[in-house]
């Protein structure tokens, strides 16, 4: 019984990070119809930003959250403004190639700067945890979850209440009508792509507290972002949160599978991703627009 | 709602999409305070003309001026800031945004403090929208949606309204209501260019009109005169 409770808690803790990992990816895809293959590279840059600030200046990882956000926002904004806008509204394959190339470029620059060595951010509280009944909760992961919840909450408020947020949603519904209302679409797209990158940076910072760093770490998280965002519903902030939590919990329970079939021992930890993808398939069969997704407007 | 009224002048405008030319040397004027109608059948290029004025369709040659300011070649947001605002065909509301958010989108470029006051004025003029204020725009009836579209444009404080196929798909009683609303907007000093397939209605509300046929202006004059024109009667009024 206590295993189930522990798995649930682990799943929720991991799910918070996954929600932030998917959030920016989902916004860019849902609003601009760009599947940003450089999202993983942006996450990696966020993680290394935190690593560098921590090792060089002893900045607490949580304090580097705004730095990661601002740096990656600026990078994303400039990339959209000066590169991606050339292929705005191009077929998906074009943006696919472009973002894939960007990803290769960024990862290789990172390899030159930080080498391929595995790095870690180990703070004074890295190993600290507390127990609640039979359940162990690491402090760092708890604060990571709280930060993730705060970030998704702020994003949702900003998108629904602010002038720019409203313009972003309007542009995603009808570009022409948004232009006739005075919206400059290239500017909105640059902001959205910047936001996607900034959120990836924030995700990287949160990841650096619990995972090892290397320049190609982004690939794994790109795949997870893809699954979470399809699971939760494209372009939806609550969707990213729910998708992240569901994915995290499913993965956590999958690790407990331990069966022997015909003399073949099968352990869940090796099957984590396979099981998560099966869940994705089932959700898509039952609800093709994702858990929180709306029927196409 | 208007500050300085200007004339909208379209001079020998040619425009189109890709390799396909839609407009051929179209010239048209709307004087300050006028209601002018642009009539013509489906595919004549009426919406393309409004698109070119609003900056969402590229102009090939000729030009558009509003007062002394050149509009052709400007980004759509500059045209809106100049006070030339379009109510697009088919309403084009932001379906998953509330009526309030749709109206506020109209004031997107405004940084003044009178946005809320204007919102209140528009709700006073279009009381139906007050009842539907928190509804998603996509859930409203066609007539209500057209009111939102007009209200959204008014939130930009236009001096010149371009209204594309306002009556399309609406029952005659609703069209009459909208005509009344237009008259009230006009009374506040806003000039209006209406584009209509409903020629009878268009000629009744306007003082002057232009007939557009396959991208060219073939006839123009006072609306009352066009209503009696045998050519117009035959082609558009079915009499």
**Whole-number pLDDT of residue A24:** 96
pLDDT at B105 over 70: yes
Counting one residue from chain A and one from chain B, the pairs whose CB atoms sit within 8 A come to: 67
Task: Specify which residues B209 forms β-bridges with.
Answer: B37, B221
pTM to 2 decimals? 0.91
Q: How far is B103 from chain A (nearest CA, A)?
A: 10
Identify the pLDDT of residue B197.
87
Give the residue ranges of chain A where pLDDT is below 70.
1-2, 268, 294-297
**A182 and B86: CB-CB below 8 Å?**
no
Six-digit token pair at B94? 């932001």
Contact A191, A76 (CB under 8 A): no
- The tens digit of pLDDT for each residue in B13-55 reads 999 998 999 999 999 999 999 999 999 988 899 999 999 999 9
Say if A186 is an interface residue toward chain B (CB within 8 Å): no
- What's the confidence (pLDDT) of residue B2? 44
Q: A284: left (phi > 0), else alpha (psi -120 to 50), else beta?
A: alpha
The nearest CA of chain B is from the CA of A183 a distance in Å of 6
Chain B CB contacts of A179 below 8 Å: 54-56, 76-77
Three-class SS string for B154-176? HCCCCCEEEEECCCCCCCHHHHH
Phi/psi of residue A89, each to 5°? 60, 25
Question: Which of B82, B93, B102, B108 to mutate against chain A (most A CBs within 10 Å)?
Answer: B108
Give the C-alpha separation, A131 to A14, whole Å.
17
Set of chain A residues whose Cβ sits within 8 Å of the Cβ of B96 = 169, 173, 294, 297
Q: Report strand pairing: B8-17 vs B59-66.
A: antiparallel
Host H or E run for residue B195: strand B191-196
Query: Looking at per-residue confidence, does B127 or A276 come out higher?
Result: B127
Residue A188 in contact with partner chain B when CB distance is under 8 A: no
Domain ranges for chain A, please list them.
2-286
Q: Does domain B8-94+158-237 have CATH number 3.40.50.300?
A: yes
To the question of domain A2-286 being in CATH 1.20.120, the answer is no
Provide, rounded to the nearest whole percent, the portion of chain B with pLDDT above 90. Answer: 90
ipTM metric: 0.94
Q: What is the mean pLDDT of chain B?
A: 94
Two tokens, residue A269: 């930890």
Percent of chain B with pLDDT over 70: 98
pLDDT, tens digit (0-9, with 9 covering 90-100), for A6-58: 999 999 999 999 999 999 999 999 999 899 999 999 999 999 999 999 999 99
Yes or no, beta carbons of B108 and A181 under 8 Å apart: yes
**pLDDT 10s digits, B137-187:** 999 999 999 999 999 999 999 999 999 999 998 999 999 999 999 999 999
Residues of B in Cβ contact (< 8 Å) with A186: none
Confidence at residue B1, expressed as pLDDT on a 0 to 100 scale: 43
Q: Is A161 on the interface with B (CB under 8 A)?
A: no
Chain B residue numbers with beta carbons less than 8 Å from the beta carbon of A183 are 77, 105, 108
Q: What is the pLDDT of residue A28?
A: 95
Determine whether A227 is exposed, middle or buried from the number of CB atoms within 10 Å of its CB (0-12, 13-18, 19+).
Answer: buried
Query: Is A177 in CB contact (< 8 Å) with chain B?
Result: yes
């Amino acid at each position: 019984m206590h295993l189930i409770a522990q798995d649930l808690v682990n799943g929720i803790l991991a799910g918070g990070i996954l929600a932030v990992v998917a959030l920016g990816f989902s916004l860019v895809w849902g609003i601009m119809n760009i599947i940003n293959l450089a999202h993983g590279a942006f996450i990696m840059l966020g993680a290394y930003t935190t690593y560098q600030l921590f090792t060089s200046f002893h900045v607490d990882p949580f304090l580097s959250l705004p730095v990661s956000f601002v740096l990656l926002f600026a990078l994303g904004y400039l990339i959209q403004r000066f590169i991606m806008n050339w292929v705005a509204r191009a077929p998906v394959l074009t943006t696919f190639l472009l973002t894939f190339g960007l990803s290769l470029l960024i990862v290789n620059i990172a390899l030159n700067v930080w080498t391929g060595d595995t790095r870690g951010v180990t703070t004074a509280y890295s190993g600290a945890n507390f127990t609640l009944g039979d359940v162990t909760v690491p402090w760092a992961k708890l604060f990571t979850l709280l930060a993730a919840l705060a970030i998704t909450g702020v994003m949702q408020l900003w998108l629904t209440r602010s002038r720019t947020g409203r313009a972003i949603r309007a542009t995603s519904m009808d570009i022409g009508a948004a232009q006739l209302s005075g919206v400059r679409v290239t500017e909105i797209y640059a902001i959205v792509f910047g936001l996607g990158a900034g959120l990836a940076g924030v995700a990287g910072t949160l990841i650096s507290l619990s995972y090892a760093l290397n320049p190609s770490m982004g690939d794994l998280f790109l795949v997870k972002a893809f699954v979470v965002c399809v699971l939760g519903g494209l372009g939806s902030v609550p969707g990213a949160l729910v998708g992240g939590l569901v994915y995290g919990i499913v993965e956590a329970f999958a690790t407990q599978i331990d069966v022997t079939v015909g003399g073949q021992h099968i352990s869940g930890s090796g099957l984590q991703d396979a099981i998560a993808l099966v869940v994705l398939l089932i959700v898509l069969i039952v609800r093709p627009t994702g858990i929180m997704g709306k029927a196409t407007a | 709602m208007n500050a300085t009224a200007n004339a909208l002048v379209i001079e020998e405008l040619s425009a189109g999409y890709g390799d396909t030319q839609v407009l051929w040397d179209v010239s048209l004027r709307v004087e300050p305070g006028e209601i002018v109608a642009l009539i013509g059948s489906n595919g004549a290029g009426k919406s393309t003309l409004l698109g070119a004025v609003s900056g969402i369709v590229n102009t090939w040659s000729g030009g558009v001026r509003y007062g002394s300011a050149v509009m052709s070649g400007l980004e759509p947001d500059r045209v809106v800031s100049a006070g030339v605002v379009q109510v697009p065909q088919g309403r084009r509301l932001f379906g998953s945004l509330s009526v309030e958010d749709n109206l506020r989108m109209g004031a997107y470029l405004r940084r003044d403090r009178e946005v809320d006051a204007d919102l209140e004025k528009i709700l006073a003029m279009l009381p139906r929208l007050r009842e539907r204020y928190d509804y998603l725009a996509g859930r409203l009836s066609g007539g209500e949606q057209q009111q939102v579209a007009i209200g959204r444009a008014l939130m930009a404080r236009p001096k010149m309204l371009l209204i594309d196929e306002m009556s399309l798909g609406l029952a005659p009683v609703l069209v009459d209501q909208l005509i009344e609303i237009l008259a009230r907007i006009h009374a506040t000093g806003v000039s209006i260019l209406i584009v209509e397939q409903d020629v009878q209605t268009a000629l009744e509300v306007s003082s002057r009109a232009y007939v557009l046929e396959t991208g060219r202006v073939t006839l123009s004059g006072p609306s009352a005169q066009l209503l009696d024109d045998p050519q117009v009667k035959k082609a558009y009024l079915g009499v």
